[in-house]
Chains A and B, each alone.
Chain A
């Protein structure tokens, strides 16, 4: 191989700044990648923009979802500033980067743009800080979510976070040594060799266990508004300790798994509300589930996943479509659980068209209107079988 040429010295600081921009836009652009980028560019004909772009992409991006952010950052950072934009003659580039307003402001002054070109977030809403209060826990456990004060929801959050249940385990195909179980020929033979080929002792092994992944698909349409906040708190609490994939929908489906990973629950609620544009709009459950089945099911329903749908079943869509999508979902998950906060109200019967269409495909149909109900759900999840479900 020919000796490696070195990078043009003036490019290095620019490249470092670009890595910082990517970092601020949420990509992982640490020193290792920066080093790779400098090494890669040596091999590239820098006059060809496509190659330059591809080289940086292949180094800095490692997720399909990050590609649009990368492209936008590349355009903003490396494209020569168009004088017509600065003069306000033509509109600014429509693509924007996901970053905090402060960062966006800092970057736009560095790059000579105005802030609206840089980010898509509005100013964060003021989030009131939590304070503690006292209420009898037992009372709280049975209080309906839609009657709760803000303070009480805070206490519920603590209750949910302390809940003792864990999702049941399933057998994996990885084997572990064990006292009982199938004979482990490999270990037994290995031991026999040490004792001159005499099979003195039989070792055994059995499948190792792993918790089932949970998938939560939560209705946040208008009719569910009273419950949305608490259900998000529930999702947040579960995401702390379980392998959880979470989605919300009213007319469209949005994945919120990554949003739930933030440390502060209020920030989570805030970013979920912001990230989900149609919070509290109308509902089309069938369309949302169809979206899930086509875009996400293959990615998140492996390894014996348990699917939980939370909705009151008020559906403006086509019941036949809802039934077809649920049928598909039911067949591709280990267990399909429907939580309906309305079950808690007296005299409720699943008479909405949506609910009636859904019932035949759900393995369980449970309440979700108070802490007690969510605890019951926890017990059900803890008791799920180890074997695959045969449907």
Chain B
């Protein structure tokens, strides 16, 4: 497959499709512009609409390495950028002969050999032919301190390690940041990025996604499951099922050998789509109506 930088929006769209990622044209536009303007792309959307997947497919499209940093509360530089391998350094120093030059030894143990490279350093200090895709996943889980650091990193793509010096990216990575919006990310960070909101797909697109990503589900089944989930999204639920749930559900039903849905099958596999007890109870009563509605769609 062609992995040169895409030449047009149509090209991006086609290549996403080739890799069975069904996105809309607006997403293709954002990706294309992020590549052209060399800006990070900030993707927001509810859980399970394919944000992380978009970054993975991008890496594949560009023929680039994917470097992923999963964020969590309290993530710090030692986990995101680099850390010295202290145990090894200690061992090394202990093994050195007393007589050896101490300063030389110190220079030795603060060399790249004793450096534990974490994702961000890896992404900046790359020698890849094609710059890597750096996925900063679920940034809303990290805290403000980390956001402030990222802001700095994204503006000049360099990292200073006191013992070694400043490392600057020869080719800056293509950065994709995702957020589930469990909190509002600071404006200053968003300002540096292009933004795209991924919405739930409509019925036709969701059918297409199921066909592309869960080909084991028969055509009729794919449509019915997509319609079922569309029906669920219209209900008042604590946790609305995302596309990931639609795919899980289609795969579960296909695994049970179903070619079409019925009330008892849906009832038995409802847990693939709904993750809250209250939601399950609420939907259980309405399964026959939902099934009937889905079959008509």
Contacts and interface: CB of A to CB of B under 8 A. Distances in A.
Given A64-B181, A173-B74, A36 B29 contact: no
Interface stretch (A47-55, A79-87, A143-151, A158-166): A47-55
A28 B196 CA distance: 16
B36 A43 contact: yes
A293 B76 CA distance: 31
B164 to A, nearest CB: 15
A197 B90 CA distance: 5
A125 interface: no
Interface string B101-140: 0100010010000000000000000000000000000000
Contacts of A189: 86-87, 89-90
Contacts of B194: 36, 58-59
Nearest to A52: B29
Given A299-B181, A324-B278, A62 B32 contact: no
Interface in A248-303: 290, 293-294, 298-300, 302-303
Contacts of B90: 189, 192-193, 197
B143 A172 contact: yes
B8 to A, nearest CB: 8
A interface, how many residues as a size bin? 35 or more
B interface, how many residues as a size bin? 35 or more
A11 interface: no
A313 to B, nearest CB: 23
Interface string A13-51: 000000000000000101011001001100111000011
Contact of A58 (B8, B30, B84): B30
A67 to B, nearest CB: 6
B73 A190 contact: no
B74 A174 contact: yes
A57 B197 CA distance: 10
Contacts of A389: none
Nearest to A60: B195
Contacts of A33: 191
A202 interface: no
Nearest to A173: B74
A375 B78 CA distance: 42
A58 B29 contact: yes
B228 interface: no
A50 to B, nearest CB: 6
A175 interface: yes
A169 B191 CA distance: 30
Given A58-B195, A62-B190, 18 more contacts: A36-B194, A43-B33, A51-B9, A54-B29, A55-B29, A59-B33, A62-B193, A62-B195, A63-B190, A67-B197, A173-B74, A174-B74, A185-B86, A196-B93, A197-B94, A290-B236, A294-B238, A303-B183
